[in-house]
Every structure is written in structure tokens, then in C-alpha cells.
Amino acid sequence: MKIITLHKPVNPDELFRHINERLNPIFQKQRQSDISFSTANTPRGIDITQPDLYDGVLFNIVVQDDQLLITRNEHYVDDVNSITVESILNSLFDDLSNGLGTDLVLEG
């Protein structure tokens, strides 16, 4: 799990909308690919999936006030698409920090 602090409270619905609107266009441009990821705002957090390529949830993001608890599917840690999605998510989190930046609190 990775924990990121945004230094301001995060609205889970706002985070979901931002990821839902921006993830696929950025991914497709960066990877020159037509792969699309599905996002779902579930009771357990924001799930990112791509059922054609990956079994289960690729990323799950839980909002706790100003922190994001991110679980990444351990089976795809070295997968280039998964690494690209993680990089894009980090930039999207930074967008929501209102210029305060983000801090990695825990990775493991």
C-alpha cells in the first residue's frame, strides 16, 4: 500500500470525477494506445480496472481526509501499463493539491 498526503482534505467524488475524466485521455496519448480503463466509485473506494487485460482491480484508492490510501494489484507491479497509470495518477493527485504538492508517507 502507498499513502499519499495532499495537504488539504479531498472530496472522494471530486477525486473520482477527476480520475474518470483525465486518466484515459492522458494514458492513450502517452502510450499511443486505445486501451481504456474503467473507474468505479464504490463503497470501498475508487477502483480502476481493465478486465480485458487484468484480473481484478488494478488500483484501489481510499480517501481519508487529506490522505489517499492506494493499493496496487501485486500481480502487475512491473507491467508497463500499470506503471503508466500510476504515474498519471500521481500527476492527477498533484492537480488536486491546490499547489501544495503531495508527500509520499508510506510505500510498501
Contacts of residue 96, Cβ cutoff 8 Å, sequence gap at least 6 = 6, 10, 14, 15, 18
Q: pLDDT value at position 100?
A: 62
Reply yes or no on whether the pLDDT at 108 is more than 60.
no
Q: pLDDT value at position 8?
A: 86
**For 1-10, 22-31, 54-63, which range has the lowest pLDDT when averaged over its residues?**
1-10
How many CB atoms are located within 10 Å of the residue 101 CB?
A: 11
